[in-house]
Structure 1
C-alpha cells in the first residue's frame, strides 16, 4: 500500500492530466470549427442561436450571401462597428492599447471589439462579458483573420449578429423592422440597423429615439465618405 502522500501526488497528476486534456479539447473545438466553417455553402449558427433552440424559443435567421445583401447595409455596419476592418489583422491594436490605458487609469473601458472579434465571440464563446473571454477573443480573431477572406468574415458576421430577441442577421432584421430585403435598404434604414447592434435588446431601429437618430446621422455621413476603407467588402458586391 503506497504512503498517503504518494497517493495524493498520483491523484493530483491524474487530475492535472485530465485538466490539460480538457483544455486542449476546448481550444481545439473553435480551431477545427473555423476550418469547417470556411466554405461559403456552410451557414454557421451562433451560441445565442443555440441557446434559443435549447430554451425552445426558436429564432428568425435568413442566410443571405454577402453579394446579395447590397452594399449600403454592410458598409453602414462596418462604419459603425469597425471602420478599420479592411486594414487590421483581426485586432485593432490601437483601440486595444487605448482600452488597456483606460483600465489601468481606473476608467470604465469602452469596447474595442473588431468585427472579427465579434464574429468569433458569436460563433464559439460563452454568452456574457469578462476580461478572460476578451483575452481568448484576441488570438482566436487573429487566427480567424489569417485563414478567412475578409468578405467571408463579414458575411458570417452579418448572418449571425443579433438584432433583437430571436432576430439574427441583417436579412431577418431588415425584413422584421422595415419589411424589405437587405439589398433594398435605404441609407437611413441601414444606418439605423447598424447603430442598433451594440444594444439590440434596448434599441429599436423602426422606432428610433433621438439619440439613435443622432448616431444614425453620424453613420450615414461615414458611409457616404467611406471611400477606400471598404474596398475589401464591396469589390465583388452587386
Structure 2
C-alpha cells in the first residue's frame, strides 16, 4: 500500500475514533443540537434575540404526504442506501471507477478523500447529494463548518447512525431537528409557526411547502421571501401528483 494512502487511512482512523457515537439516539431524544447552538451563538454575536422553537412529534403522527414530500425533495433513495448514497456521489464526482465501491480498494479510498474535499468546496451546490442521514449527522453534531475533518466525521457518523438505528428512527430524528426557519427546528414547530396547525394535519400544499423550505430555510420559507420556496413546492406537488418518490416502509 502506498505511503500516502497509509497516512490517509491512519488519519481517517483517528477521525473515526474522535467522532461522536450516536447509538443512544436509538431510544433517547436529542437535546440542543450543534446547529441550534450555532444559531444561538450567531444571534448573540449579532446582538439579536433568537428563541428556539421545537416540538417533538412521533413519526407515526407525521402527515404521510409530508413524509413523501421530504423524501422526494431530499433523499429519494433513503430506504435503499446505507447512509451515504455512493451512486449519487459518483454521479456528482463523475467517478470512473471499475464498479461498486470496495473498502479495500486503493482507488476507491482515493475517491472518498476526493469526495470529502469536493463536499467542502462545493457545499451549496451538492446539498441535494447529502443523504438525510448525513444531514442528520451534520445537524446533530457539526453545524455548518466546511472543514475536511468535519465532512469526514459526518460521513463516519452517518454510517454509525445506519448501523445502530432503524431507518424509520433516523427519519424521525431528522424530521424533529431539521432547520425550517429562523429558530424553527423540526416539522411540528414549523407547521405550527407557518400554518397554525400540527404536522399531523397538513394540506398537500402545506406539506410540499415545508419540504420545499429545507434547502434554504433562512432565506426562503413560507413567511419570508417565499418565491424560491414556491417554485420548489410546485415541483414537489407535481411529483406527488404523479405518484413519484419512495413510500416509507410500514
The total of aligned residue pairs comes to 207
Residue 35 (structure 1) aligns with: 23
Residues 174, 182 of structure 1: 8 Å contact kept: yes
Could you state the TM-score of these two structures normalised by the residue count of structure 2? 0.73
Secondary structure of 2:175 counterpart: helix
User: Deviation digits for residues 140-188 of structure 1, max 9, x if unmatched?
Assistant: 2122111111111011001000111111000000111111111111111
Residue among 158, 170, 175 paired with 2:192: 175
Residue among 75, 78, 82 paired with 1:85: 78
Residue among 202, 210, 215 paired with 1:193: 210
For the pair 1:26 / 2:43, whether they are aligned, the reply is no
Could you state the TM-score of these two structures normalised by the residue count of structure 1? 0.76
* Structure label with greater radius of gyration: 1
Residues 170, 182 of structure 1: 8 Å contact kept: yes
Residue among 118, 121, 124 paired with 2:141: 124
Secondary structure of 2:67 counterpart: helix
Residue 221 (structure 1) aligns with: 238
Structure 1, unaligned runs of 5 or more:
1-21
Residues 79, 226 of structure 1: 8 Å contact kept: no
Q: 1:128 and 1:47 mapped to 2: Cα distance?
A: 10
Equivalent residues in 2 for 1:41-80, closer than 5 Å: 41-52=28-39, 55=44, 57-80=50-73
Secondary structure of 2:82 counterpart: coil
Runs (4 or more) in structure 1 with deviation over 6 Å come to: 22-25
